[in-house]
Chain A
């Protein structure tokens, strides 16, 4: 993939994540902070489908943005064909792993498998 496309995705995920993370944080403030983290309330959040969908989107956006940012930093630190390939594939693998792990939580709680 061309670097310009990757970086457009980087900027796009950043902007979208800002909006959605703001909603996610504001949800903590609709009640007292400690109350919002109580088990029943958190479960209720996850089982509310639009909110669970939003969490899934945030998970994808931040994973893509975060691991691409890490890839950029690592590519600038050291150069070499093998190293650069390892960094690129490593970051993609870590991104997929994190999305899979986070999605598992969201899907299982949303479906009531707790």
Chain B
């Protein structure tokens, strides 16, 4: 009968071992019990390829399993592990410690999102605003009722919006946005870029209803083209570009 290693043994055996190490500072805060944020420091060995998420999971395995962090795919696809890493919003799974070029890596929860605990934040508002801009094709007929089997689209028409459909709803853009820093009613770059994604889709007929939603005192006009959203987007969505094109419809430059 083969002996199965205990969980503790298994975890020990997967510990990172390297000559290089980094000080990982993790923001700890539980809004239900604490009034202010504290930082805990851990010395973590790392390799050239070690990501910040792996370092955090190392802490959870070997030092303090109570660190709260949201993650899933570990390959920049699910958009779960957004956090402030050394002052900038980044995906923890997509940020290598070696690329940060620093002996200290500080991780904090994303700005402009309510904190659940430690590094985990609430996404309700992001999903609410995303839903508000009607992120689906709007038209009277459907692919089932239409005479054609499917809605045809040329490669050129696809190019108009494909970039913006890469959004993984990680919230980094909303965290970097200077307007979101003070305006909790602002629709935000994520939702605005998605509004453009559907408005620019040749199959969609819901432009007017979406423009009506964003033409508000806390809508698209509160974007001042600072471009921080595009700089932090881990999928190359470039929300700033989409927002300016979207504004073009309201200014009459596009139809």
Contact = CB atoms under 8 A, between A and B. Distances in A.
Interface of A: 2-4, 6-8, 11, 72, 75-79, 84
Interface secondary structure of B, over-half rule:
loop
A6 B217 CA distance: 10
A79 B215 contact: no
Q: Which of B179, B217, B222, B251 has the most CB of A within 10 A?
A: B217
Nearest to A71: B217
B184 A7 contact: no
A4 B221 contact: yes
Interface of B: 179, 182-186, 215-219, 221-222, 250-251
A4 B250 contact: yes
Given A4-B250, A77-B182, A78-B182, A84 B221 contact: no
Given A8-B251, A76-B179, A3 B186 contact: no
Contacts of B184: 79
Interface secondary structure of A, over-half rule:
helix
B221 A79 contact: no
B221 A7 contact: yes
Contacts of A7: 221
Contact of A79 (B185, B250, B251): B185
Contacts of B182: 76-78
A79 B216 CA distance: 14
B222 A79 contact: no
Given A3-B221, A79-B183, 6 more contacts: A2-B215, A3-B215, A4-B251, A7-B221, A8-B251, A84-B217
A84 B222 CA distance: 14
Nearest to B185: A79
A78 B217 CA distance: 13
Given A3-B215, A3-B217, A4-B221, A76 B183 contact: yes
17 contacts: A2-B215, A3-B217, A3-B219, A4-B250, A8-B251, A72-B222, A75-B183, A75-B217, A76-B179, A76-B182, A76-B186, A76-B222, A77-B182, A77-B183, A78-B182, A79-B183, A84-B217
